[in-house]
Structure 1
Amino acid sequence: MTGKSSITQRTARHGSRKPRKFDLADLEWTNTIPECPTYHPSEHEFEHPLVYLQKIAPEASEYVFSFNNGTPATDFWLPYIASKNNFSRLPQSLLRLVDREIPGITDPMLYIGMLFSMFAWHVEDHYLYSINYHHSGANKTWYGVPGYAASQFEKTVLQHVYSNKILTKHGDDGAFKFLAQKTTMFPPNVMLQHDVAVYKAVQKPGEFIITFPRAYHAGFSHGFNCGEAVNFANGDWFQLRAAASRRYAHLRRMPLIPYEELLSKEAMQVYKSSRVRSSKKKPEDTASYQSYYTAFLASYAIL
């Protein structure tokens, strides 16, 4: 008798919550998210993937990720897995100079997904590029915000995603730490509501997703699947890496990659290659040289 009375009292005090009927119309906003473009590199272009990436980067970076399909793993991905010189350590990738193994960054990691398993909103460590290959299984849906809109994304998360309780207790820096932990997930319509650029893509088996530096992204699996991903970096990454270093220092996080050491090693490689170059073209005329030179000046100013 007493038990029934207490249950009745609690129900009356808190009120009953009526179940809300799900309606597909509630998801119509997903159709308003523009899709990123699909790229179809030729067999020859896939022989030099980072060169091809630089070719499409001016357009593809505006959409967060390039979406390449129709390339069998046996023709592209498996040779890198079987070799110690994996994708992140290609001659054009700066991560080839990192002298230790960092899972997921210098060495690929395998990801097993199931229905509705998700990866939370995040940017890659040190604002690196990333490449994700879908080996088999159900599709994945990706959402992403271009690097140029990263600051808008962060501002929107602080103002409209995290509660005042979190901000009051931990401050803005604390909120950024939560975001860096890769545990924050929310629907992309939050970005639409606050005029932040956001795009989507559905990744199928045999297709690649490439994310560009400082591009926030998240997504989920449609069912059981298997994918593989690793980071890499081009010469133009140096300037972004300096910004990432400042963010790490601000959040009191230990960097995973020795930036100054990497910059020095690459500069030595550029100097050596310029001395043995048979071409009449001067190293000062190359885009990579300009990236290193600018990065050196920026590092010198900081030091």
Structure 2
Amino acid sequence: MALMKNQTHISHFILLGLFNHTPLHLLLFSIIMVMFLVALSGNGLMILLINTDSRLHSPMYFFLSWLSVMDLMLISTIVPRMAIDYLLGHGSISFTGCGLQILFFLTLLGDECFLLAFMAYDRYVAISNPLRYSVVMSCRVCWLMVALCWLSGLVDGLIQAIYTLSFPYCGSQEIDHFFCDIPAVLKLACADTSLYQTMIYVCCVIMLLLPFSVISVSYLLIFVTVLRMHSAEGQKKAFATCSSHMAVVSLFYGAAMIAYMRPQTYHSSKQDKVVSAFYTMITPMLNPLIYSLRNKEVAGALKKLLGRCPCGGRQE
């Protein structure tokens, strides 16, 4: 009872950020901002190319365009706020703003988990059953898959954001992170959050392992199908098509599993910040580069777009 009387309502939190104000951290901050600009331009260009070039109007590129949209939203949810806080020298965020950041972050994280699973299934159908590909992966089915991604992510984000902010917060307002990550926020709660943290852990395992299982099975079946191909050229093309997606999956799921599937006793603030920076900043920057550098169709669409541009010179 005495504890409840000593509790004070917190109207805002203070984000301690990712960097300190030292020459080295200024350099790291500058690198992060360059990465942010590369992510914006890379993902924006992918969306433009896929929507303007008719050769890219297929289910694979349809999902890839949505991956770019999600990456753009994810990095924009985190980096601009972090940059403003760093430049102003303080990171105050309102209680409501913190809840919205949790909602957007978890929604987009969940979206990408399921979208990567559907992208793997799409590649399985294209390689294992090409004659029925247009029927199985119809326009309606693709839109339903994207809608399911958003619905799953939104439900997960809403539940966790509302439940996290329902705890009483008092005392310290300092969140030892560069955004409102749930484990960092819960450390400030004036209540026993152990049961909720266990629930979060189970939820994250399900949200990560369910799509990852679909990805693993899809690529196992793809591998079996490719090995049965008699054409070496067909095998090479199939592996080239899937390798980019496998690289993206490895980067995203590797960082996410390290962040959310480790027991809380193995977490430290410094490690959590580094891992969070990886999948909120580095992965969104690398995704369009991975897909564009090894994809002849995307490269062709880019050349065609540059040919239309007055600065691209005349086409013979």
When normalised by structure 1's length, the TM-score is 0.25
Structure with more strand by fraction: 1
Structure with more helix by fraction: 2
When normalised by structure 2's length, the TM-score is 0.24
Q: Return the index of the structure with the highest Cα Rg.
A: 1
